[in-house]
Amino acid sequence: MDDLCDAARKKNNKKTTTKKKTTKGEFTPFSHRSIVLFIPFLPVKPALPEHCFIHGRWLLLLLLFVGVFGPPPALCQACKNVVVLHLEVVQVCRVPICNNRLDRLRETSKPTTFTGCFVMTDSILEDNVAFYSDGAAYWRGRPATVDAMLGGYGHISGLDVCASRKFLSQFLGEGPGKTGQTRALDCGSGIGRITKRLLLPLFDRVDMVDVTETFLKRAPAYLGAEAQRVDNYYCSGLQDFIPMPGHYDLIWIQWVIGHLTDEHLTEFLKRSCAALRPGGLICIKDNVAQEGVIWDGEDSSVCRSLDLLSRIVEDAGMTILEQKCQDNFPKEIYAVWMIAMR
């Protein structure tokens, strides 16, 4: 086991990535300069999440600034191009976004809510149908390989699995509060990279769930003889999936939560919690943004800050038991965190 870790670590002294911190998006120059007219009538504070910094006097200061100097430039979180802050009455935003994304928002938003240039996840993802269908289409077009599961950097798989095994092992065993090893669920499993290397060696039986049929069809061949211990290959989006109540000791959710809206992720965590056996555990392992929410137009996903993730876990009525940042991953990719909860 340690050899595997060492080998993976050595191999990864080179700079590699599963997902780089920034992605290139489309950008069209932004010229519209409308000013908010209805601010005094807006229920600004109650309508905003508490961590949204545009409220009260900040909003007035911002308006004053815009009135005098015109909208200031900002960076689009998706494409890193300069955009002009847009102050039109559309909806509450948190992450700077560029014009074409904003146009889509304006088309899909109710005209009576407020827009700054900072978008909460569910505001970015107002158009849920396109968000999910674009994400599914992206993965349908990817080959059923480990390399594709890891965005072209399949060689960090060993390092990833070693760290996960170490993180998970502190919860496993017998006795009060310990997590049993009878049955695990691999969420957003892809072809079963984690099922094969992490879950089947530790659990008697495993189920897999993924939205991409071709990946699940490929799984038995990829898993080899051990596939006989995989009971179910569920082809479903996690936003629709209902894991069997009281069924699993572990629910592992890796590199897939960015494909769910805040609301769907919260609801999925609640359903997952109900699917745990006594002592059961849910683990999320995923990219984490330094701040706020970052949209990736290439695969139609978002990357949330640890703060936002913690809030979602809390909203789902769960408690974080332990969280740890993955060591020795390439510097240029998002930080990857493991979060255990129940």
Residue placing its CB nearer to ligand SAM in the complex, 109 or 301: 301
Q: How far is the CB of 255 from ligand SAM (least distance, A)?
A: 4
Q: How far is the CB of 264 from ligand SAM (least distance, A)?
A: 8
243 binds ligand SAM (CB under 6 A): no
Q: How far is the CB of 238 from ligand SAM (least distance, A)?
A: 4
The CA angle 18-210-221, to the nearest 5 degrees, is 85
- Chosen residue from 22, 239, 305, 328 binding ligand SAM by CB under 6 A: 239
Token pair for residue 78? 């998706």
Residue placing its CB nearer to ligand SAM in the complex, 114 or 153: 153
259 binds ligand SAM (CB under 6 A): yes
149 binds ligand SAM (CB under 6 A): yes
- Chosen residue from 30, 167, 203, 255 binding ligand SAM by CB under 6 A: 255
- Chosen residue from 200, 256, 283, 318 binding ligand SAM by CB under 6 A: 256
DSSP string, 70-111: -PPEEE-TTT--EEE----SS--B-S---HHHHHHHHHHS-T
| Stretch of residues binding ligand SAM (CB under 6 A), selected from 177-185, 226-234, 248-256, 307-315 | 248-256
What is the H or E stretch that residue 338 is in? strand 335-341
| Stretch of residues binding ligand SAM (CB under 6 A), selected from 101-109, 226-234, 237-245, 333-341 | 237-245
SS3 220: helix
190 binds ligand SAM (CB under 6 A): yes
User: Which string of x and - marks every residue 160-189 that binds ligand SAM (by CB under 6 A)?
Assistant: ----------------------------xx
Based on the number of CB atoms within 10 Å of its own CB, is 95 exposed (0-12), middle (13-18) or buried (19 or more)?
Answer: buried
CA dihedral 246, 248, 254, 260 (to 10 degrees): -20
| Stretch of residues binding ligand SAM (CB under 6 A), selected from 70-78, 198-206, 207-215, 318-326 | 207-215
Dist. CA 61–CA 236, nearest whole Å: 47
Long-range contacts of 27-30 (CB under 8 A, 24+ apart): 27/76, 27/79, 27/81, 27/83, 27/98, 27/99, 27/100, 28/98, 28/99, 28/100, 29/99, 30/83, 30/84, 30/86, 30/98, 30/99, 30/102
238 binds ligand SAM (CB under 6 A): yes
Interacting residue ranges for ligand SAM, rule: CB under 6 A: 135, 139, 149, 188-190, 193-194, 210-212, 215, 237-239, 254-256, 259-260
